[in-house]
Every structure is written in C-alpha cells, then in structure tokens.
Structure 1
Amino acid sequence: MYLVKGNRDFGYVDLVPAANGAGLKWISLGLLRLQPGASYRGKLDGHEAVLVLLRGTCKVQVAGHEFGPYARQNVFAERATAVYVPVDGDYIVTNAGEGTLEVAVCQAVAEESHEPFAVLPEHVETKSVGEANFRRDVHDIVVKQAEGKVHRIIVGETFNPPGNWSSYPPHKHDEYIPGVEACMEEIYYYQCDPENGFGMQSIYTSDKAVDETFRVQHGDAFLIPRGYHPVCAAGGYQLYYLWLMAGPIDRTMIPHDDPNHAWVRERHWS
C-alpha cells in the first residue's frame, strides 16, 4: 500500500500511478529509462509535471521549446537539472548521451496554465538542515522559487549521510491549519550510494491507526497520504530521496512536528 518496489525496465514505468493503493489524489510518479539515441513522447492529462534528470544526458522538447542537452553523472555527484511541463502538455525526452538515461516524471493535478521552463543546477537552492545524526542536505528544485510559475507541484531532493535521519523530528502535513500545518500528499523516490544499500522508512499517525516501518532500497518509492514519516539511512550508505508534494490548498510548505518529539528541534536545531 505504501511501498512500491523499484523497476529497472526500459521505457516509461508508471511507478506510482494516479490510481494507487495509498489513495493519493493529487500526485503521481513515473520513471523514464532510455537507451542511447532513444526518445519518449509523453502527454499529460489534467496534470503538470517536473522532469528531473537523475542520470545521463538528455534533450527535452515541450510545446515548441527545446531544452538541453543537459547532463548529470548521478544524483550524488551534482545538483539537479529539471524541466517544467505545463498542464495537458506534450513533451519529448531524448537520450543524447552514450549511457542509460534516467528521468523522474513528477506529476501533480493542475488547472492553471503556465510556460515551460528549465531549472539548472545553479538555480537549485541548497541548505543543511538539522545537526548531529539528523543532519541532512536539502535541495529545493521547484519550491518557493517557482511560485507563480507552476500551479501546485513542489519538487526537491534530500541527501542523508550514512546513519542519519531526515523528515526529523517526525513531521506531517495532512491537516490544513493556517500558519501551523499544510495539507499535502507526498511521494519519496530513493537511491542509495552504494546501490546495494538501504534505509528505514516509518509512517504513523497519532491515533496509531497507521504505524508501520519499511526497508527501502535503491529505486523504491514510498507513498505518504498522511501521517508522520521519518526516514533513516543505513550505516555506511548515503540515502537520497526525491520528494514530490501537492495538495488542494496552496504551495506553502508548513510541516507540523510530532509533539512527542518536538523537543529535539527546540533543543538541538541549528
């Protein structure tokens, strides 16, 4: 219901479809893997999208605009490059390199129409969050800097050093309280360095109606319709996850900490 195991097939893989077991209504996630010289033509239906380059070299065409070629060795080596595709848009992704191309197709329900644009590595906003063994690096790809340029979609990346926690103190964003908490669904897509690594992903609610922990591996996805959702990297392995968010209200990211663990932020936050 929450964990989707990775798929290494070539072509377009609907990793988290619009109709999914967790009941997500606002977001979905596809993974595009292309061999050298191959192209994929996509068509959005009632959704906007952010195409995030994970590995390889690509060219992208959107509504008469051409972007690229863009290259990324891997998610751990350099900051992201991404292309925004407006609602109901057509796009073509071409592998312009010599190795396998991997692109995450992050989608959110949308009605507003905007212009396509590219996010280059120098546009990605980076910050170190937390301290001690819950310090992590957060990269904002399409977040505050995209306000007014997209409708609902929010996309970024988080990097956990080996053994470190993120989404910590545990937080949630499933109940809209102005100025206190946002109402947004979320999807995580993981990669590990080395690739045979893993992490531990929890999801729980205050009433314990949901209280589960999963072992997540390279290429897996995790669906977060509600609840607190802390994640930890295994010792010796760096854990990356792409995060995709959207909801019915607005794009203001306000996570609400679990009151049982809020003291961690109050005492240790830097």
Structure 2
Amino acid sequence: MHIAPRDNGNMPIVGVDHPLVPLCYFNIVRLRAGEAFVSDVPGYETCIVAATGTVSVTVGEEVFSGIGKRRANVWDAEPEGVYVPVGAVARIVADAETECFIAGAKCDEVFAPFAVREADIDPVQYGSDETKTHRKIKHILGQKYHGRVGRLLVSELYTVGAGGWSGFPSHKHDTERLPVETRHDEVYNFRFNPPHGSGLQMMQREEGKPGDAYHIVDGSTVCVDKGYHPCAVLPGYEMYYFTILGGLTQRPLVQYFQPSHADQIETIPGIKDMIAKFK
C-alpha cells in the first residue's frame, strides 16, 4: 500500500491496529522552535527520531536533551532518537524547527527508556556499483538493543551513489514459520536527493504471479504487509527510507529470500553481514 505525501497535521500516518500492518505505527511530527507535542500510543513501544532539527524528549521523570544533529535533510549527519516503552507518554519539545519520525511496534513487555546518540548508531554497508545494489544501513534500534526493546526494529537505509536497487534479492517476512521466516510488518518513509527524484516500489504478493508497483516520491509512505518487496531509485538520484519493523512473536527478523533470486546472495558483497544485523 502506497500513502502519498501530505500534511498529516501531526496525526498518525499509520495508526494503531492498521488493517494492513497492525504490528507497526508511524507518525511524522513537525514543530517550530519552542512548540511541543505529546506522544501517547497505547499498546505500542515507540522510538522518536529527529529527522531534522533538535528536540528534548521527556519520558516520565527522565529528560533526554539535544536529540538530533541534522539541519538540512537526512543526509546531513547521523540519526539520534529516544526509545519510549509501552504505556509511557513522551513529551517532545523542539529546540529548533524540527521534523520527527515516531516509529512503533505492538508490544506487551515494558522496558526502560533510553537515548540513542550519534555514537550509538550501528552502520553496515554492502553491495556494489557493479551489482547495482550498493547501500548503507544505519541501525537506530538494531541488534545491539536485544533485551532492551520488545518487538521494534528501526533503521535508515540509503542507496550509495546515484541510482540502483534496494531490498534485493527479493525477500519476504509475512508468515510465522521459524526457523525459515518470521512475521514482521514493515513501514517505509522515503526521501530523495535532490527532492524531485523518485523511484519504484515493487510488491509481489504471490509467487509466480505479477505484482503491483508504486511510483514513490519524496515523502511517500509504503506499508509492506505481504510478499516480496524490492525497490529502486532513478539514475542520478539518491534514495533514503526510514524503516520500521514490528515482529509478531520476536524481535529478530528472519527473511525468506525468493527462490528464483536467492542465488544472488552469493554474488552481492557484504549482504550476509547485512542479513545478520537484523537478527
């Protein structure tokens, strides 16, 4: 499902118990300096990420100040964020004009809030220009936070260079059948550099049958509920997508690679390291 960019008025783009991706939550909050927003998402743990600008986040008695180093866009610096446990209310105050992403996953375990600073980001780069799969992933809530987070995975994905594919070899994670695959709902929000760039999101829901394709632009949101879902960016442009994964029974992601393309796992440099970082 493709959700075209719009002024959401700080209301959820993917709300609680969404009919396609009920395990995920997503909101974009835009604030001027000095403005505040209260985030209260019952039944979901969340992560507040400063896409641009700087914020202070209060969770209970704890205050996390100076979150966010980016000014111009998501290519400007490393991400920073705050983990908010299920049942907690977060108050966001903008220190400067800001855009915040609020990512969430359904969860019934309560953990302690914490900040993810620039130095805490876990990066991985894989692929190559030759295979048209060169990209970088910045894990905000990744593998290193197992035991401190319930079901939520949050990362930022960048194509390296101008043009190319992401999410390939095609994979899916819509069925709980361990150890082969886990059920994880997924939500993306895309950005392009320059902003007038665009790309393509494929969605093949049934093996051996043609799927759907969406024209994605700066600010597009995509809900991945079922099937194989590679995407591509036009030549001459960089692509970024904020990624939210919510697991049904566990946090580690087990991807099932489409058999017709799975052999290419052996040809793409570093892809096995990338797969391991989501587990």
What is the TM-score normalised by the length of structure 1? 0.93
Write the mapping of 1:38-49 to structure 2, written as runs, cut at 5 A: 38-49=35-46
Tell me how far apart the structure 1 counterparts of residues 179 and 106 of structure 2 sit (CA, whole Å): 24
- Computed over aligned residues only, the root mean square deviation of the Cα atoms, in angstroms, reads 1.6
Q: Could you tell me which amino acid in structure 2 is paired with residue 128 of structure 1? A: Q
Tell me how far apart the structure 2 counterparts of residues 57 and 28 of structure 1 sit (CA, whole Å): 22
Secondary structure of 2:16 counterpart: coil
Tell me how far apart the structure 2 counterparts of residues 175 and 236 of structure 1 sit (CA, whole Å): 36
Deviation readout 1:163-210 (Å, 9 max, x if unpaired): 111111111111233232221110011111111111111011334567
Task: Decide which moves more: 106-115 or 210-219.
Answer: 210-219
CA deviation after TM superposition for structure 1 residue 20, in Å? 3.5
Q: Which residue of 1 aligns with 2:189?
A: 189
Match of 2:28 among 28, 31, 42: 31
Q: Which residue of 2 aligns with 1:151?
A: 150
Contact 2:51–2:100 (8 Å) recurs in 1: yes
Q: Could you tell me which amino acid in structure 1 is paired with residue 248 of structure 2? A: P
Q: Which residue of 2 aligns with 1:17?
A: 15
Is 1:56 paired with 2:86?
no
CA deviation after TM superposition for structure 1 residue 8, in Å? 3.4
Identity over aligned pairs, percent:
25
Is 1:111 paired with 2:108?
yes
CA deviation after TM superposition for structure 1 residue 255, in Å? 1.3
Task: Decide which moves more: 200-209 or 151-160.
Answer: 200-209
Secondary structure of 2:47 counterpart: strand
Distance 1:169 1:65, change over 3 A: same
Q: Which residue of 2 aligns with 1:72?
A: 70
Task: Decide which moves more: 84-93 or 12-21.
Answer: 12-21
Tell me how far apart the structure 2 counterparts of residues 67 and 217 of structure 1 sit (CA, whole Å): 33
Q: Which residue of 2 aligns with 1:204?
A: 204
Secondary structure of 1:14 counterpart: coil
Q: Could you tell me which amino acid in structure 2 is paired with residue 79 of structure 1? A: E
Q: Which residue of 1 aligns with 2:277?
A: none
Distance 1:262 1:32, change over 3 A: same
Tell me how far apart the structure 1 counterparts of residues 210 and 226 of structure 2 sit (CA, whole Å): 9
What is the TM-score normalised by the length of structure 2? 0.90
Greater share of strand:
1
Contact 1:159–1:241 (8 Å) recurs in 2: yes
**4+ residue stretches of structure 1 with deviation over 4 A?**
none
For these two proteins, the number of residue pairs brought into alignment is 265
Contact 1:7–1:13 (8 Å) recurs in 2: no
Q: Which residue of 1 aligns with 2:167?
A: 167
Write the mapping of 1:115-130 to structure 2, written as runs, cut at 5 A: 115-130=112-127
Tell me how far apart the structure 2 counterparts of residues 178 and 62 of structure 1 sit (CA, whole Å): 35
Contact 1:58–1:94 (8 Å) recurs in 2: yes
Contact 1:199–1:232 (8 Å) recurs in 2: yes
Tell me how far apart the structure 2 counterparts of residues 217 and 13 of structure 1 sit (CA, whole Å): 20
Q: Which runs of 5+ in 2 are unaligned?
A: 271-279
Q: Which runs of 5+ in 1 are unaligned?
A: none
Is 1:131 paired with 2:128?
yes
Tell me how far apart the structure 2 counterparts of residues 111 and 249 of structure 1 sit (CA, whole Å): 11
Contact 1:18–1:24 (8 Å) recurs in 2: no
Tell me how far apart the structure 1 counterparts of residues 91 and 140 of structure 2 sit (CA, whole Å): 21
Distance 1:32 1:149, change over 3 A: same
Task: Decide which moves more: 120-129 or 258-267.
Answer: 258-267
